[in-house]
Structure 1
Amino acid sequence: MSRYKCIIFDCDGVLVDSEVIGNQVIVDLANQLGANIDLEYALQHFKGNSLENCMHQIEDLTDAPIPKSFESDYRRQSFEKFKSDIKPIEGIKEVIKKLKIPFCVASSGPESKIRLNLELTGLLPYFEGNIFSCYAVKKWKPDPAVFLWAAETMGFEPKDCLVIEDSPIGVQGALNGGFDVYGYTAHDYKDELQIKATKTFNDMIMLPMLMNC
């Protein structure tokens, strides 16, 4: 039996396969401003970051203030792409259906984005009422605030919870809060998670087995 009493899932790249979609939209918008970056750059520098942080990085790349419309343009265009292209992470539905302990989602994105992507992938009913957004606490990973809020609301101490993350920033945020964190490495192209995460795995179906180790 697992010693964990609750699982806190990240959303993008852990529950829904959205990282490439969202980052490509950022790349396209940034390149219109002269950033001259590609998707590989975005996945390395933007993945797991708040949109505000990404925007600051783009300002540094272009040496110019970012347009006020950037965030609204990103939300509109990414939501359109999510509606046509997003899929659940392979195996996640099967894992969730087998879980015998409470679970929730804690994400850097706004709740509207989290809810949209969970709804589009058929996952929303499993997380209704247990959605935690960094926008609500106004602190973003690697600050552990959203994880601590999720754990407290779910009724558990950090030591009793397991966080599932796919980005170095998210892993560090969980560690900063005193959580064990498993790194999902299916899209960890630079092998960045293994040196920090409590454990790593590259197939979601492996998660229940790992938890019982």
Structure 2
Amino acid sequence: MSAASYIDLLISDCDGVLIDSEIVAERMVREALGKRVPLHELEVVLHGTFGLQARDILARVEAHFGITLEEQFIRELYHNTGASIHDHALPIAGARDAYLNIDLPLAVASNSHLAGIVHSLQRCQLTERVDSGIFSAEQVARPKPAPDVYLLAAKTAGVAPQRCLVVEDSSTGVTAALAAGMRVIGFLGASHIPPEHGETLRQLGVEHVIRHMDELPGLVERLRREPPPNVLP
């Protein structure tokens, strides 16, 4: 790798970056919980929760409405949501070509279960491209927004966090990557992204946001040659 590069590892989130699964999960959660609580109020509670683990979303719903969801209900929701994502979630347009055209080692770090990540990579035809490991919330003590899964990816690859570049779509994931000391590109091209989300990610501290995957290779190459804002060339 060129000595002029400031980036040695590219790390991608999965849901909402490689596969358009968040919109499917949101629909399943909304339909199931809408039978238990007022739908108009539920919409407000669910706003901005994408990127969180399902258990954290359900805990937020329970706390807001003062209810306890039965274990059977939760198991069925997890099963039905996973099955729907497996069958219906589509690859993000242009993601495969974008990542194939970036000359950096690639890892994937996600709050999803490992089996789901593996299936998503197969669906996106990116399994062989991910040469620096797949990392899930199951492997760490704390899921995103904690930095643990990103730090694990960097440590496994033997790369300092400040030399990692992350592609993320959610506030949860961006918070995790920034807490790990990594540079972050915000991706706004998935179906579930609200119009104001780009400004939300900028306020969190992302360097750049993109709306289409065909923007990614050129931006990554540019950032490889530019030092982070807080580092002198």
Normalised by the size of structure 2, how large is the TM-score?
Answer: 0.83
State the alpha-carbon separation in 2 of the partners of residues 87 and 3 from structure 1. Answer: 33
Give the C-alpha shift of residue 120 in structure 1: 2.8
Give the C-alpha shift of residue 210 in structure 1: 1.0
Give the C-alpha shift of residue 125 in structure 1: 3.2
Aligned to 2:201: 193
Which has more radius of gyration? 2
Render the CA deviation track for 1:82-135: whole Å, top value 9, x for unaligned: 233211111111012112110111001111221222223333333377110012
State the alpha-carbon separation in 1 of the partners of residues 74 and 129 from structure 2. Answer: 29
Does residue 16 in structure 1 map to residue 19 in structure 2? yes
Tell whether the 8 Å contact from 2:17 to 2:187 is kept in structure 1 after alignment: yes
Render the CA deviation track for 1:62-96: whole Å, top value 9, x for unaligned: 31111112442223212221233211111111012
State the alpha-carbon separation in 2 of the partners of residues 34 and 27 from structure 1. Answer: 10
From the superposition, tell whether residues 61 and 29 of structure 1 become closer, same or farther in structure 2 (CA, over 3 Å). Answer: farther
SS at match of 2:92: coil
Aligned to 2:214: 205
State which drifts further: 136-145 or 186-195: 186-195
State the alpha-carbon separation in 2 of the partners of residues 97 and 165 from structure 1. Answer: 18
Render the CA deviation track for 1:2-22: whole Å, top value 9, x for unaligned: 521111100100011101001
SS at match of 2:135: strand
Aligned to 2:225: none
SS at match of 1:212: helix
What is the one-letter code of the residue matched to 2:201? L
Aligned to 1:140: 143
Aligned to 2:226: none
Tell whether the 8 Å contact from 2:108 to 2:134 is kept in structure 1 after alignment: yes
Aligned length: 213
Does residue 184 in structure 1 map to residue 187 in structure 2? yes
State which drifts further: 107-116 or 174-183: 107-116
From the superposition, tell whether residues 86 and 199 of structure 1 become closer, same or farther in structure 2 (CA, over 3 Å). Answer: same
What is the one-letter code of the residue matched to 1:204? M
> Percent identity among equivalent residues?
28
State the alpha-carbon separation in 2 of the partners of residues 129 and 178 from structure 1. Answer: 19
State the alpha-carbon separation in 1 of the partners of residues 210 and 64 from structure 2. Answer: 34
Aligned to 1:172: 175
Aligned to 1:94: 97
State the alpha-carbon separation in 1 of the partners of residues 43 and 221 from structure 2. Answer: 35
State the alpha-carbon separation in 1 of the partners of residues 137 and 66 from structure 2. Answer: 28
State which drifts further: 78-87 or 38-47: 38-47
Aligned to 1:163: 166
From the superposition, tell whether residues 22 and 57 of structure 1 become closer, same or farther in structure 2 (CA, over 3 Å). Answer: same
The unaligned stretches of length 5 or more in structure 2 are: 223-233
Tell whether the 8 Å contact from 1:23 to 1:39 is kept in structure 2 after alignment: no
State the alpha-carbon separation in 1 of the partners of residues 125 and 88 from structure 2. Answer: 14
State the alpha-carbon separation in 2 of the partners of residues 184 and 43 from structure 1. Answer: 20
Over the residues paired in the alignment, what is the CA RMSD in angstroms? Answer: 2.1
Normalised by the size of structure 1, how large is the TM-score?
Answer: 0.91
State the alpha-carbon separation in 1 of the partners of residues 215 and 5 from structure 2. Answer: 14
State which drifts further: 18-27 or 29-38: 29-38
State the alpha-carbon separation in 2 of the partners of residues 127 and 69 from structure 1. Answer: 36
